[in-house]
Structure 1
Amino acid sequence: MKVVVVGAGYAGTLAANRLAKKVKSAEITVINPRPDFVERVRLHQQLAGTATVATPLASMLRDGITSRVGTVDKIGDGSVTLDDGTGVDFDYAFLAVGSTVQPMPGTVPVGTWEGAEPARVALAALPAGSTVTVIGGGSTGIETAAEVAEARPDLRVRIVGASVARDFSHRAYQRVRSGLERLKVDIVDDGVTEVADGVMHLRSGAAFASDLTLWAIVSGVPDLAARSGLQVDTEGRALVDEYLRSVDDERIFVVGDCAAVPGARFACALAAPQAAHAANTLARLIEGRRPEPYSLRYVARAVTLGRKDAVGQFTRLDDSLRRTCFTGRTAAVVKELASRGGKYAARTGTGG
């Protein structure tokens, strides 16, 4: 049985490793645009120079799994076609290409490796007294602004968003904002209309000069599914059935950010359970057993505020916020353990 996994992030790597353990006869090929596994939840650390987040993919995959560096142009009809014109046939496939960013002109995106690396180089070259602006009031923006401010206290750091920390509520919301202020990050609750010639223009009519403007909003997914003729939602995510299979082709499992799972938001925390469930489902099908539907469950959401502080807020299973939160060093340790756990789960195939 031939299995192709497209994408080697948290979801793709975990799915490949879990399936290799469960189905010994599977010939698994992982196709990824780069030869490394990238810890996407740590890209803000890569940018700030506080961590290295790329690990050779060869050390992340189990023995017997074939890895191939390349970009898939199309998937369907039992085959994937790469942009160099070559193809790989499959009996089953896992589509795990994640999400992407669509940066505003004049900004450097930080939500992908391709953006974070140039941003790191640009940040390192800034002299003391320069201004760095982070656009995006969600988790990516908050963690980026905090990490840069802590790593480079000689810079002025500003975060701009329609409502910074809007993904939190009650005490957690206030604690995130006070944590940013403690790091001397200027908070601007406003929308951005344009960035041109080093000047950022806001909806309110205000304008700010910025030596480096970082785009920290994750939106949309790569268009591989749509380009391949699979049905997608308005964000480009492939429509799936209750077992995480494409509604157009039951041989294709879709996991992670690129899967249109009802109620799912873009979150690395969902990649592991989805990948694990899909791998389990394929194993059950091969054994002639009935598959079980995937059940979406949330636990909490959290952001780091530098290396020694963080804020986490518990959620209900449907992702609605509870009032309870945890903060400070305890939250930072929990967040760090969760980040390490994500990589460990992907490498061992034990997540979910």
Structure 2
Amino acid sequence: MTDILVLGAGYTGVVAAIRTAVRTRRTGGRVRLVNASARFTERLRLHQTAAGQRLADFPLADVVAGTGIEFVQGRVAGLDVERRQARLEDGRVLGYDKLIYALGAVTDASVPGVAEHAFVYDDYAGTVRLAEHLAALTSGLTSGLTSGLTSGTVVVAGGGLTGVESAAEIADAHPRLHVVLLTRGRPGSMMGERARAHLDAALERLGVEVRTGADITKVLPEGVELAGGELVHSDATLWTTGTRGLPLAAESGLTVDARGRIVVDSALRSVSHPDVYAVGDAAAVSQPYGVLHGTCQGGIPTGLHAADSLAATLRGRTPKAFRFGYVHQPVSLGRKDAVIQFTRPDDSPRRWYLKGRAAVAYKETVSGSPLPTFGLLKRGLVPVWAFALTGGLG
């Protein structure tokens, strides 16, 4: 019996756990999946939760039912990679022979005041608190409201895809709120010119005030401070400017990069502790064009590949090297608009893009319910899109 522990049950953790259970069933693999929450969080859709939309509830016990995986609810408080043990906050200690680390990333709160005064997308509960706060602002139930047609100002910090989606979604759902998008560069800067033009037009249509060249130096209870001392009023500040790995990885002695992500080899094993596999946002995965950035598009293939690498190792085989190429940059712009920038494998933009309702249909297809994907994995199948993204899995 080989004890395999999977820490984290986001997209990457769940697919890694299911794929591992299927691939090690005949070699005596015992898989336990650990997560702080009992529900599966659709992190891709947290901007919709923030805007007040209710999403489907997926209990993790149901998600992994029929796979032989033991689900353990608990928050990981410590990791001893020498003794091969994970310690939970309630004192339980879980031993392992092989570990898949899929705890993701958290908001980079290095700017003063972010931790104390900003809303972030680190978990579902925090996002629900933001949704409740925005609903209260719209209803005029909180203090510090502006007069006139609007009921409050929301500052979204960060012009990446998460910031753009959040600003658009909030403005679409709460038209009486004044949404300000603060960013150092141009929103959607990684896209091609035509896709960016559609994105810009959509933000303008939704009434989002975009301020570029904004360098936030401090988050305050009722606003943000910019370099130079300017104060921008805010009744709610959402911080989306970057992420980093949990301190847990570095504290355990695993080799990490400057952003706290576990450095892995081509089989997605820790370069310092090869019994630990790291996937998704928690891993620094190198490809010829650079290190993968945190997206579900790249995260799920890492979960699948780590499971296959682990299974190959248990069979005494040499794991294949991980290969990955980006396909698209999908961005929702409220519920009735979107833009899809198709990309080269290195994530640079191609000429082709989709906009409007065609883009909405495309995005809803690729980021819809994860249950069909999980169902395929339970039957030992790999979704076709995973082959397309990675050029084939071992």
Q: TM-score per shorter chain, which class? A: over 0.9
Please give the residue correspondences for 1:55-74 in structure 2 after superposition, counting only pairs within 5 Å: 55-63=58-66, 64-72=68-76, 73-74=78-79
Is 1:49 the counterpart of 2:52? The answer is yes
CA shift for structure 1 position 80? 1.7
- The equivalent residue for 1:129 is 151
Match of 2:170 among 143, 148, 171: 148
Structure 1 residues 141-194: Cα deviation after superposition (integer angstroms, max 9, x where no partner)? 111111111111121111111122223231111211111111111111122222
2:363 matched to 1:335?
A: yes
Deviates more, 1:160-169 or 1:249-258: 160-169
Q: Once structures 1 and 2 are overlaid, which stretch shifts more, 161-170 or 107-116?
A: 107-116
| Structure 2 match to 1:85 | 91
- The CA deviation at 1:75 is 4.0
Matches within 5 A, 1:175-324: 175-189=198-212, 190-203=214-227, 205-262=229-286, 263-324=291-352
Moved more, 33-42 or 186-195: 186-195
The aligned amino acid for 1:93 is: L
Q: Is the 8 A contact 1:10 1:343 kept in 2?
A: no
- The one-letter amino acid of 2:203's match is L
The amino acid that maps onto 2:204 is E
Distance 1:223 1:345, change over 3 A: farther
Aligned 8 A contact 2:119 2:130 in 1: yes
Shift of 1:206: 3.5
Distance 2:372 2:167 in 1: 27
| Cα 1:58–1:222 shift into 2, 3 Å | same
2-structure distance, mates of 1:332, 1:107: 29
C-alpha contact 1:272 1:345 (8 A) present in aligned 2: no
- Name the SS of the counterpart of 1:317 in structure 2: coil
One-letter amino acid of the structure 1 residue matched with residue 236 of structure 2: L
SS across alignment from 1:271: helix
Q: Distance in 1 between matches of 2:50 and 2:239?
A: 12
Q: Which moved more, 1:52-61 or 1:264-273?
A: 52-61
> What is the CA deviation profile of residues 310-339 of structure 1, one whole-angstrom value per residue up to 9, with x for unaligned ones?
111111111222232211111111111111
Shift of 1:200: 2.3
Write the distance in 1 (CA, Å) between the matches of 2:263 and 2:105: 15
Q: Does 1:157 align with 2:179?
A: yes
CA distance in 2, matches of 1:213, 1:291: 45
- Mapped partners of 1:166, 1:51: distance in 2: 30
* TM-fit CA distance, 1:51: 3.0
1:99 touches 1:218 (CA, 8 Å); kept in 2? no
Tell me which amino acid in the other structure corresponds to 1:165.
Answer: G
Matched AA of 2:259: E
Runs of 4+ aligned structure 1 residues displaced above 4 Å come to none
Task: Provide closer, same or farther for how the CA distance between residues 347 and 231 of structure 1 changes in structure 2, counting only shifts above 3 A.
Answer: farther
Which amino acid is 1:20 matched to? A
User: Matched residues in 2 for 1:55 and 1:217: separation?
Assistant: 28
Q: Verify the 8 A CA contact 1:303 1:312 in the aligned structure 2.
A: yes
Q: Tell me, in whole angstroms, the C-alpha distance in 1 between the residues paired with 2:53 and 2:118.
A: 22
8 A Cα contact 1:49 1:120, kept in partner: yes
Aligned 8 A contact 1:38 1:113 in 2: yes
Residue of structure 2 in register with 1:108 after alignment: 119
Instruction: Report deviation, 1:205.
Output: 4.6
Query: How many residues are matched?
Result: 352
Q: TM-score, normalised by structure 2?
A: 0.85
Identity %: 36
3-state DSSP class of the match of 1:108? coil
Q: 2:161 aligns with which of 131, 139, 142?
A: 139
Letter in 2 for 1:344: P
CA separation in 2, counterparts of 1:112 and 1:83?
A: 17
* Structure 2 residue identity aligned to 1:255: V
Q: Work out the CA distance in 1 between the residues paired with 2:182 and 2:250.
A: 32
Instruction: Give me the TM-score of the superposition, normalised by structure 1.
Output: 0.94
Instruction: Indicate whether 1:166 and 2:189 are aligned.
Output: yes
SS in structure 1 at match of 2:94: strand
Alpha-carbon distance in 1 for matches of 2:3, 2:219: 48
Q: Is the 8 A contact 1:17 1:62 kept in 2?
A: no
Cα displacement (A) at 1:346: 4.2
- Report if aligned partners of 1:272, 1:342 keep a CA contact under 8 Å in 2: no
1:52-100, CA deviations, whole angstroms, 9 ceiling, x for partnerless residues?
2642111111322111111221141322222333211112110001111
Structure 1: gaps spanning 5 or more residues: none
Report if aligned partners of 1:37, 1:57 keep a CA contact under 8 Å in 2. Answer: yes
